[in-house]
Amino acid sequence: MGQRSRMARSVNRLLLDTTVLIDVSREFGNVDRSLKTLVATGWILGVCAVSVAEFMAGVPVPDRMRWERWIADYRYWDISREAAVLAGQMQYDQKRQGLALHTPDALIAATAIVTDSTLATKNVKDFAVPSLKLLHLGG
């Protein structure tokens, strides 16, 4: 998806980082209330493969079905080839600046950029990426 199609969207999209999924699942703080307010004002909430995989890695076997159904309530945005290329480029650029951007975080950030989404995370410091729109949620 090129720059033209990214700019054509006028809907507000929020890609949820793993930290936000964990906080919502644990009913931590006001994260769930904040997300409900955003949805009520027209925001679309989504997840990608990395946040789903990281979240499910912490779910015990007896609880998996429940949490799989819960995750399925969110929109799902694929990690496209464009996002994968961008993730690698961002890692290269960050490394040249003496910063570490781990592959999972790079893929999440790139997916947010490519889908023209704002990234909701508790760990804003992990996503020091130019052009990435961030929303700090959580403690």
Domain ranges of the chain: 3-118
pTM of the model: 0.89
CATH fold of the domain at 3-118: Rossmann fold (3.40.50)
Distance CA 53, CA 94 (A): 24
Q: Are the CB atoms for 51 and 16 separated by under 8 Å?
A: yes
Report CA torsion sign: 79, 134, 11, 20. Answer: positive
DSSP 14: E
Residues 6+ apart with CB under 8 A from 82: 1, 114
Angstrom distance (rounded) from CA 43 to CA 3: 21
Local confidence pLDDT in tens for the 139 residues of the chain: 444 444 445 689 999 999 999 999 988 878 989 999 999 999 999 999 999 999 999 999 999 999 999 999 999 999 999 999 999 999 999 999 999 999 999 999 999 999 999 999 999 998 989 899 999 997 6
pLDDT at position 57: 97
